[in-house]
Structure 1
Amino acid sequence: MPLADRFLTVRRDVHSREVLARGGDPEAHSILERSGFVPVVRLHETYHRLPVGLDEAEEKRLATRAVARLRAVKYGVDTDNAFDTEMREPHYLPLGSSIAHLAERIRDATTSDEVADALTELTASHDGVPIALGEVLAATAAFYQDLGQPPDPHTAKRLQYLAEHRLAVLWSDLAHMRNDLADRHQDHPQRRACTAEAGPDEREASAVCACPPPPPRLTTTPVAAPAAPAHTRR
């Protein structure tokens, strides 16, 4: 990680009078967003701002809290005197880290049973992650439905569509894969548990591990959100 990514500025802009945060890496951006900041993506820059419509006291509270949280995990923060603080908030792992742990379990898995066990947390029909996410989408849709602005009913329908169609397809596919792996009881041909021991045909006395290299870590490329279905447009 570049050292520059460990530094941020949180200042009130002299021209717009907005409270802006610049710099940092994705973890810092996540802390800012959990502290109330809104990401702004420009062609050559991504930064964060506080929401519009806040009074100065609330802006100070949110900015000061962000500084405290960032410094608690050793980010360097250059800030206005109004937002400076010696306070350090305890840092707790976010909810998403529990889901990311499933990916680590799958990367370390050597058998189909181990992967099926990890995927069960995603595919459980009563309290799996997609089921819970569907409840969040439905609750948000209900909130938008009667919020009062002209686009709000359309937003509610869009959320309902995502929950009922896109999320349902994701859950169905994952459940099919989980059940397939649960029936296989198969060792992965390119993976095995590391014993930290040399193989029986190893001649070098210094050798301590004959395991193959770990599989490459695959990353996904973000894609644009799908367009709203035609029948929901006004």
Structure 2
Amino acid sequence: MAFADRFLTLGRDVHSGEVLARGGDPEAHSILQRTGFVPVVRLHETHHRLPIGLDIAEEERLATRAVARLRAVRYHVDADDAFDTETREAHYQPLGSLVADALTELTASHDGVLIALGEVLTATAAFYQGLGQAPDPHTAKRLQYLGEHRLGVIRSDLTHMRNDLADRHQNHPQRRTCTADVGPGEREASAICACPAPPPRLPTSHAAAPTAAAPANRRR
């Protein structure tokens, strides 16, 4: 790892007004993504930005948290005064409930699930290559193909979806306000119900219910 990869800048761009993070290695990029930043891949560089549409307070909160998490693992971060902090925060947090959080865990550039899966496929291919049985080289090539081609497409698509969701700030249209009463002993009183909206009511038929058939006469 190059020593320069331990340095990052994190500040508000004077031209665009965006909060940008530049520099760092894949681990630093993973920390930024897990803190809400979106990767921007260009021909000659990759940097990170905060999602669009955030207010100033939320931008400062996320940027300050990113600085705290990066410095906690000894990255040198040159941050704007508004984002500077003496706080140090562990960056491994429990998996969130939002879809964007789940996709981040899958696609994180340093230690995401798909990166780990690719490493497993590569290691397994190397293992099969040296086993010595006739089908083993074919199996090794198949594993290499899955890791280099199929997995790469999946990761690319999911990364695009994750970045798209990170820029959206509205509730799911099928979530509804919960009208259920919350008792005084409840710990949480959520205003958003995670259940899907109820299905549309079917039109009620006003036809008379069929009468029961008269019982057949018994023989005496």
TM-score class normalised by the smaller sequence? 0.3 to 0.5
Highest relative contact order (Cα 8 Å, sep 6+), 1 or 2?
2
TM-score by length of 2: 0.47
Tell which structure's C-alpha radius of gyration is larger.
Answer: 2
Where is the helix percentage greater, Structure 1 or Structure 2?
1
